[in-house]
A and B are shown apart, each in its own frame.
Chain A
Amino acid sequence: MSDILLEVKDLKVNFYTYAGVVKAVDGVSFSVRKGEFFSIVGETGCGKSVTARAITKLIKPPGRIVGGKVLFEGKNLLKLPEKELKKIRGKEIAYIYQDPSSALDPLYTVGYQIAETVAVHNPLIKIKNAFTKAVEILKEVAIPDPVKRSTNYPHELSGGMKQRVVIGIAMVNKPKLIIADEPTTALDVTIQAQILDLLKELKEKYNTTIMMITHNLGVVAQVSDRVMVMYAGKVVEIAPVEELFEKPLHPYTQGLLAAVPNPLKKVEEIKAIPGFVPDMINVPKGCRFRPRCKFATEKCLQQPSLIEVEKDHWVACWKYWKR
């Protein structure tokens, strides 16, 4: 068990809206192993970003973490006081946010923003002295002319460069875990590949662990070791990446993969999953995919829990329960 870096157990996050309670994350459990590239995929609103932010308690009202445990190196982060969490955020667990244009403060130079991230976690270093560190990290994330770039404001950089800066901010304190929340979604397709390569390269170099959230299956295939699929606030399947793409077990995962055109085959017809994502206030009883599932039976009115069908391949579907 010592190779497990992060273990999330039965995490529950609710959002209290005027229309009702949204159970955005409803009993999610998974673990991330040291040194792996773990991806979470799912559609918009399936709770993947909320899961990512809940790990260091970055949920703001009207959202609230209502249950579960987040064990990071054995410590339950959800039980830690805010003061301790602040020491972990950006130092042990660093984030990469989706849109680099809005993740950086427009009024400060990128060098300053990297430097302050260093200084805030190292009381002995003053921001002024951390600028050399900022230039170093900019070089590390392959930004040309890092000395000059460090004095630029965010609006003077391109989207791809800004995302490199954000990655630099995440890397600068050599965190044990990087949570990348849709790191390529806001970027051009050509830049996406570069950013993914950079992430992979830095992960090897610093020997860190990455947990990536995305809705893009192509991105998942390119970089991940293991993948977790979420649907409507629940985990439906966890598997090593090849296994998931070759032998998806959950009907939702199967539908998801069928809906992605394969560039090697002539596209006759893209098979959309029938129906709609459920209303998160009035979720269907039992398995949440049941109303859209062609294999649905009586049994599916009860929520199936995850079972390990093959080694490392977990799925939450009654189909695979031996009765």
Chain B
Amino acid sequence: MAELKYYLIRRLITFVPTILGVLLLVFVISHAVPADPARLWAGGEKAKPEVVEMIREKYHLNEPMHIQFYYYIKDLLSGNWGESPVTKRPILEDLADYFPATFELAIASTILMVIVAIPLGIISAFKRDTIIDHLVRLFALMGISVPVFWLAIILQWIFYYQLGILPATGRGIEPSVSYTGLYLLDSLLAGEFDKFVTNLSHIILPAITLAFPGIGVIARITRNSVLDAMSSEFIDFAEARGLHGFQFYRHVLKNAMIPIITVLGLQFGFLLSGAVITETIFAWPGIGNYAVKAINALDYPAIMGTTLLIGLVFVIVNLVVDVIYALIDPRIRF
């Protein structure tokens, strides 16, 4: 296990330049856009030159790029991610409001993916080339090909409009206390089970919509990696040793895990970066929704903040995936 510790430390060190890269990219992109933010915030075309100049001074916009970058990093580290000229609130507060909604939705759809796609993929592999396998593969193909907006609307039409059993939009009722910002968890922690049920009913449709394409991808990957593992020599040898039942299948499944974890991590990263279409259709107050509003309003601090957050989320998810790799496969620990 000693090498696992060193691996973690090494991996954490490489984490730093990646984050720096993300910061630099966000910074450069924000400066590459042609609009003049100072003039915009001062009130647009009719702004007084003194006011524009004052804003330039305040935000160091007259300084050279590297000095500006220094101020950017310094402010970020001290928790000042800027203030949105649109919402008139600090960006970090806005993000703290919107991100938990996305996080909650991402977790819900990832759980759905795992409990649906992985068993399907495993069954498909073990029943290879039977009718069950074909059905699963057809289902996976559907998952990959169905457009999200269509699926979202059809689900709303069936479950809200026709059956009237699930709400079409929104996130539900806010629990009276906010420990995590995740409505489901908070309402459970506060003991408000009626709110929990309401919030659960709200998350079902967007979670299914988001999970559906992922289910297709993961079911396929699972099937292929299980088949791959089954065809390896050590599985033949495991059989020749007389292993059976759980003893036998744990060798197959553990070896099939790596590709599944990879794809699952990527999917989770994408979900966390906000599913713009899904969040819009279901009026889900998540980060995707926020980003769209910010872009429409040319709200640069908000755009930069959101981009940075999404970048960070991706890097962190990757880090977690790498750690899981190392836990599964001892060969990766070196």
Contact = CB atoms under 8 A, between A and B. Distances in A.
Contact of A104 (B234, B239, B244): B234
A90 B234 contact: no
B52 to A, nearest CB: 63
Interface in B229-247: 232-234, 236-244, 247
A86 B244 CA distance: 7
Given A106-B329, A108-B251, A58 B240 contact: yes
Contacts of B239: 58, 89
7 closest A-B pairs by beta carbon, nearest first, are A90-B242, A102-B233, A90-B241, A89-B242, A95-B240, A103-B237, A153-B330
A107 B255 contact: yes
Interface string A70-106: 0000000000000000111111001101010011111
A102 B234 contact: yes
Contacts of B330: 106-107, 153, 155
B331 interface: yes
A107 B254 contact: yes
A305 to B, nearest CB: 31
Interface residues of A, number: 30
A146 B330 CA distance: 19
Interface in B215-268: 232-234, 236-244, 247, 251, 254-255
A88 B255 CA distance: 26
Contacts of A91: 242
A94 B241 contact: yes
Nearest to A90: B242
A117 B243 contact: yes
A153 B240 contact: no
Nearest to B240: A95
Interface in A93-131: 94-95, 97, 99, 102-108, 116-117, 119-121
B67 interface: no
A268 B63 CA distance: 87
B328 interface: yes
Nearest to B245: A120
A14 interface: no
